[in-house]
């Protein structure tokens, strides 16, 4: 046990677990850190990943972070002094301290140690649809067509374990034998496909010659018992006992990559979704799993009594479980792992999902020849190098709508910015109003996917007219802003900065901003303020002291540094652009294959000095290692005004290509077509190219018909009287 005093009560991070606010409650709250198949709920519950990292922000804005590099089960208790107490059941106390001093500096320093995030495929920033419970390929087709007919953008379609034969990885069930043809057919129009895979491999009751299992046995891929002979079978499906691959072994990694290649030859997937990789095993240490057929005799994984499954200190994660054993809902702690079986599962349990992620990412890229995307449920520091994450099996509640913001902010601190929650909720039946508000918020998750559970009604956004309308509006804005979002991921990939960030990262001395977790920023420049309360169209929100413009109208907000109230009907989410920034945009399309062929626009939001700046990263969106290989364009934008006796006589918008490439990215065929300038102090009389319109009520100028190339330098000059 070790206790730290903290210089400030503004404490963030420590995960993955549930809590009601982004800034921690310091009144003796204990947070367990142990990867468990535990859906988000109420109270300080440990969830799917392990992230013993925190940040503290002081009143003067100074921030620091602390990372405990330890993979064992940990309990962290907050103290009101303020302080923190760590208790861990093994491993060393290897603490890394990051001195900031800015909040963004802390995250950059942390990710410099654990590794920067992967660069996601451009299409993976589009909207995605999924559910557990599709009856066959025909139902997936109906959902895709319903979405397309409603003119709702969609880039990715998923299939959960329904597509498998008896829930066995790398197989197709009888109702999905035509799935490969459907995937090829839809790919022509730009729709991508991602299937789910669980790490647990069926060892019986598969209706085919299941070579995935026999191949695993041939290379010794599975975790063994403590006597190094038998693999510990658990239960993770309704149709079979399961063995668990040991991804610490090079032979297992090679087997897994080969299975991914064989499967891609059968089903042309574009990404992989790995689930249940804490690893999950249903009702370990009970007589029978909850999902086991009642007519069969009792069978389950019962772990022997020992000091590893029953350590002297009962962590909170164990004390809350049914049998108060560390192995509940997972495999036995005495399992052996490693190239030479040198590790107890007890020591590396929290690394299981992490160990599966890297070979999955490498296998995906080898099989497809493209960048792709991997989504993983269980994470550990540095998982973001190879995968994104979703916040797990949430519930269709307004509380979970709010919690999704907290989780998204935390995972950006943890170096996993490709993050989102199941839009409209996974468990239980959503409502029309909740789903509409959630689709609006989810349109601004970095990972934007609607997904729900078995035995509940479908909730894809075209089901209700009002949800379809709200979704189309919000998602069209998302697609318009994808160039800005993609550029944020470029900066995260290269410098470690956050993509979604809390207000205090940009306003570290603003004490009120330190507690805001109902609003968030995309990068430094776009403020998102969703409605999170049922049956309301009036939103009270906080605007930090700065220059802010309404995204929709360009009108400057009259007040800042205080609480404001906005009328927010069901079909609207509040968006504000920060003065001093330029946001590159692209005319939206029904998917990114279409939108990437459209011309660019931009928003120029002026600060109090009548200036603004921004940037754009652009590559082909799917080739591997374009940043390393310099196969991209990097462009800087700036706006400044020339003064004569303190009176603006002209405004100059400059585009400078700072990095270019001979590789074809599509940018060479596109133009800067138009731009909006927010916050002009006076009306322009002319522009040296194109046309200009000015709206004095909002002090906004619209420049159209610019027709400027995107791969060479240029200027646009506004003239004032």
| Nearest-angstrom CA–CA distance, 649 and 67 | 53
List residues bridging with 702 in a β-sheet.
676, 693
Binned at pLDDT 50, 70 and 90, residue 238 comes out as low
Question: What pLDDT sits at residue 646?
Answer: 78
349-375 average pLDDT score: 99
In order of 132, 450, 526, 578, 602, the CA distances from 613 in angstroms are 44, 34, 14, 11, 11
Count of residues in the chain: 721
pLDDT of residue 232 exceeding 90, the answer is: no
Report the chain's terminal Cα–Cα distance, integer Å: 71
pLDDT band at 721 (very low <50, low <70, confident <90, very high): confident
Q: Per the structure block, which two tokens stand in for 71?
A: 């993979």
Residue 209 has pLDDT above 90, yes or no: no
Q: What is the mean pLDDT of the chain?
A: 95
User: Could you tell me which residues come within 8 angstroms of residue 209 by beta carbon, excluding any fewer than 6 positions away?
Assistant: none
| Residue 234 pLDDT greater than 80, yes or no | no
Superfamily assignment of 122-221+235-293+350-390 in CATH? Glycosidases (3.20.20.80)
**Residues contacting 628, CB < 8 A, separation 6+:** none
Q: What is the pLDDT of residue 658?
A: 94
Name, in order, each residue with C-beta under 8 angstroms of 53's C-beta and a sequence gap of 6 or more: 13, 14, 15, 65, 66, 67, 68, 110, 381, 413, 414
Distance in angstroms (rounded) separating the CA atoms of residues 330 and 497: 34
Per-residue confidence (pLDDT) for residue 205, from 0 to 100: 62
**In the numeric block, which tokens belong to residue 597?**
């062929």
Output the 3-class SS for 498-514: CCEECHHHHCCCCCCHH
Sequence-ordered list of residues with C-beta below 8 angstroms from that of 305, at least 6 positions apart, any chain: none
Fold of 599-720: Immunoglobulin-like (2.60.40)
Strand order in the sheet with 520-522: 500-501, 520-522, 526-529, 574-578, 548-550
pLDDT band of residue 228 (cuts 50, 70, 90) is low
Instruction: Classify 680 as helix, strand or coil.
Output: coil
CA gap 229, 224 in Å, rounded: 6
Alpha-carbon distance of 410 to 450, in angstroms, equals 21
Q: Is 721 exposed, middle or buried (0-12, 13-18, 19+ CB in 10 A)?
A: exposed
Give the pLDDT score at 241: 82
Asked whether the beta carbons of 393 and 381 are under 8 A apart, the reply is no
Q: Residue 647's pLDDT is what?
A: 80
Mean pLDDT value of segment 301-308: 92
**How large is the average pLDDT for residues 540-551?**
98
* Domain spanning 2-114+488-576: CATH superfamily: Golgi alpha-mannosidase II (2.60.40.1180)
Q: Are 708 and 638 in contact (CB under 8 A)?
A: no
> Residue 445: enclosing H or E segment and its boundaries?
none
Tens digits of residue pLDDT in 401-458? 999 999 999 999 999 999 999 999 999 999 999 999 999 999 999 999 999 999 999 9
Name which of 121-135, 221-235, 556-570 the model is least confident about.
221-235
Q: How far is 95 from 114, CA to CA, in rounded Å?
A: 13
Backbone angle region of 412, left / alpha / beta, with phi > 0 → left and psi within -120 to 50 → alpha? alpha
For CATH 3.20.20.80, list the domain ranges present in the chain: 122-221+235-293+350-390
Instruction: Give percent of the chain with pLDDT exceeding 70.
Output: 97
Q: Which helix (H) or strand (E) holds 26?
A: none
pLDDT tens sequence across 613-637: 999 999 999 999 999 999 999 999 9
Q: Is the pLDDT of residue 293 over 80?
A: no
Q: How many CB atoms lie within 10 A of CB 304?
A: 12
pLDDT for 283: 86
Helix, strand or coil, per DSSP, at residue 688: coil
Q: Is residue 71 within 8 Å of 102, Cβ to Cβ?
A: no
Using pLDDT thresholds of 50, 70 and 90, give the confidence band for residue 665.
confident
Average pLDDT over residues 567-580: 98
- The strands making up 63-68's β-sheet, listed across from edge to edge, are 10-17, 46-57, 63-68, 95-98
Higher pLDDT, 228 or 478: 478
Q: Name, in order, each residue with C-beta under 8 angstroms of 394's C-beta and a sequence gap of 6 or more.
A: 39, 40, 400, 403, 404, 421, 422, 425, 426, 427
Write out the two tokens for 587.
């005319």
pLDDT above 80 for 259: yes
pLDDT at position 320 is 78
> 661 falls in which pLDDT band (50, 70, 90)?
confident
pLDDT over threshold 90, residue 316: no
Instruction: Give the tens place of pLDDT for each residue, 455-477.
Output: 999 999 999 999 999 999 999 99
- Could you give the dihedral angle defined by the CA atoms of residues 585, 587, 591 and 593, in that order, rounded to the nearest 10 degrees? -90
Return d(Cα 257, Cα 197) in angstroms, integer: 13
Give the model's pLDDT for residue 248: 98
Residues 6+ apart with CB under 8 A from 663: 619, 620, 623, 626, 631, 632
User: Do strands 633-644 and 691-695 pair parallel, antiparallel, or not at all (unpaired)?
Assistant: unpaired
Name the residue among 43, 46, 98 with its Cα closest to residue 68: 98
Task: Write phi, then psi, for 157 (nearest 5 degrees).
Answer: -120, 140
Where in the chain do CATH 2.60.40.1180 domains reside?
2-114+488-576, 599-720
Six-digit token string for 368: 């497809």
Task: Work out the burial of residue 640: count CB atoms within 10 Å of its CB; fewer than 13 is exposed, 13-18 middle, 19 or more buried.
Answer: middle
pLDDT given for residue 179 in this prediction: 99
């Amino acid at each position: 046990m070790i206790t730290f005093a903290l210089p400030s009560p503004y404490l963030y991070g420590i995960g993955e677990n549930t809590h009601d606010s982004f800034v921690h409650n310091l009144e003796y709250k204990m947070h367990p850190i142990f990867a468990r198949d535990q859906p988000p709920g109420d109270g300080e519950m440990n969830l799917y990943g392990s992230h013993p990292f925190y940040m503290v922000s002081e009143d003067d804005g100074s921030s620091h972070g602390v990372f405990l590099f330890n993979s064992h089960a940990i309990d962290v208790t907050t103290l009101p002094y303020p302080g923190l107490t760590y208790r861990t059941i093994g491993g060393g106390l290897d603490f890394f301290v990051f001195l900031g001093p800015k909040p963004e500096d802390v995250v950059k320093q942390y990710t410099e140690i654990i590794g920067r995030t992967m660069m996601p495929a451009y299409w993976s920033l589009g909207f995605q649809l999924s559910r557990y419970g599709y009856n066959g390929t025909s139902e997936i087709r109906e959902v895709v067509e319903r979405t397309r007919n409603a003119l709702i953008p969609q880039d990715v379609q998923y299939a959960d374990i329904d597509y498998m034969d008896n829930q066995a990885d790398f197989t197709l069930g009888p109702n999905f034998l035509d799935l490969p043809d459907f995937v090829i057919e839809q790919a022509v129009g730009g729709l991508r496909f991602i299937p789910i895979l669980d790490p647990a491999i069926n060892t019986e009751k598969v209706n085919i010659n299941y070579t995935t299992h026999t191949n695993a046995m041939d290379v010794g891929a599975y975790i063994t018992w403590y006597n190094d002979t038998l693999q510990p079978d658990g239960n993770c499906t309704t149709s079979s006992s399961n063995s668990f691959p040991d991804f610490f072994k090079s032979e297992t990694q090679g087997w897994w990559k080969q299975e991914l290649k064989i499967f891609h030859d059968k089903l042309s997937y574009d990404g992989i979704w790995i689930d249940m990789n804490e690893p999950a095993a249903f009702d370990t240490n009970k007589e029978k799993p909850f999902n086991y057929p009642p007519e069969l005799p009792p069978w389950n994984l019962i772990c022997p009594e020992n000091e590893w499954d029953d350590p002297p200190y009962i962590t909170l994660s164990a004390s809350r479980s049914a049998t108060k054993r560390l192995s509940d809902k997972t495999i036995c702690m005495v399992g052996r792992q490693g190239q030479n079986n040198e590790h107890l599962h007890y020591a590396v349990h929290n690394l299981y999902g992490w160990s599966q992620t890297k070979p999955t990412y490498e296998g995906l890229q080898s099989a497809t020849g493209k960048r792709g995307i991997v989504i993983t449920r269980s994470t550990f520091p540095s998982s973001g190098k190879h995968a994104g994450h979703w916040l797990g099996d949430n519930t269709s509640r307004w509380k979970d709508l709010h919690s999704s913001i907290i989780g998204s902010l935390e995972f950006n601190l943890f170096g996993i910015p490709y993050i989102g929650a199941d839009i409209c909720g996974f468990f239980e039946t959503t409502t029309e109003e909740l789903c509409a508000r959630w689709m609006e918020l989810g349109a601004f998750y970095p990972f934007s996917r609607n997904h729900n559970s078995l035995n509940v009604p479908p909730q894809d956004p075209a089901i209700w007219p009002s949800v379809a309308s709200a979704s189309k509006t919000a998602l069209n804005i998302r697609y318009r802003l994808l160039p800005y979002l993609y550029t944020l991921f470029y900066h995260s990939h290269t410098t470690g900065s956050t993509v979604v960030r809390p207000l205090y990262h940009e306003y570290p001395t603003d004490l009120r901003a330190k507690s805001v977790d109902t609003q968030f920023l995309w990068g430094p420049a776009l403020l998102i303020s969703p409605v999170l309360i049922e049956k309301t169209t009036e939103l009270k929100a906080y605007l930090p002291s700065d220059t802010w413009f309404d995204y929709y109208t360009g009108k400057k907000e009259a007040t800042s540094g205080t609480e404001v109230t906005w009328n927010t009907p069901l079909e609207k989410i509040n968006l504000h652009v920060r003065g001093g920034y330029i946001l590159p945009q692209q005319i939206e399309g029904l998917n990114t294959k279409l939108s990437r062929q459209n011309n660019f626009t931009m928003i120029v939001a002026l600060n109090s000095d009548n200036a603004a700046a921004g940037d754009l990263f652009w590559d082909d969106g799917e080739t591997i290692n374009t940043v390393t290989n310099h196969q991209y364009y990097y462009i800087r934008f700036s706006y400044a005004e020339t003064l004569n006796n303190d009176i603006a006589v002209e405004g100059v918008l400059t585009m400078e290509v700072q990095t270019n490439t001979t590789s074809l990215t599509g940018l060479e065929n596109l133009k800067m077509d138009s731009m909006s300038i927010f916050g002009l102090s006076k009306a322009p009389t002319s522009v040296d190219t194109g046309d200009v319109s000015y709206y004095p009520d909002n002090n906004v100028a619209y420049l159209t018909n610019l027709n400027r190339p995107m791969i060479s330098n240029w200027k646009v000059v506004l003239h004032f009287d």
